[in-house]
Amino acid sequence: MNAMISSAQALEMDAFEAAGALFFELVEALRSAEGRAMDLSQLEKLLAEGGQELLRKLLQGHMDLRSLDSVEGPVVGDDGKGRKDRHRRARKVETVFGEVVVDRERFQAEGL
């Protein structure tokens, strides 16, 4: 087996690692003596905040996986003109779960 893996393969394997770690942190907080001593409103706050961040991390992992996809073949705009210049672009996007970074391919042509 080849010990070398590509950065894309590494990202695919680790895309949801941060979300998984946070999930298990939340579970441990609920299992702990401190968690068992919390009243209902404290538990709701813990889960609302942690759950929101968990969902954001899941969405970020998914967006990271999508960034691995690339367009095959020629890219033609609505104007019928081809876009041959390919660039990567990352930008921050505010979602209902919080801010994520979206990295995607961008296609351009001179003068367009």
Q: For the whole model, what pTM was predicted? A: 0.76
Q: What is the pLDDT of residues 7-19, one digit of tens each?
A: 666 666 689 999 9
For residues 46 and 26, the answer to whether their CB atoms sit within 8 Å is yes
Q: What is the pLDDT of residues 32-81, one digit of tens each?
A: 999 999 999 999 999 999 999 999 999 999 999 998 887 777 788 888 88
Beta-bridge partners for 49: none
Estimate to the nearest angstrom the gap between the alpha carbon of 84 and the chain centroid.
27
For residues 98 and 62, the answer to whether their CB atoms sit within 8 Å is no
The rounded distance, in Å, linking the Cα atoms of 71 and 73 is 7
Q: Residue for token digits 């702990």?
A: 32
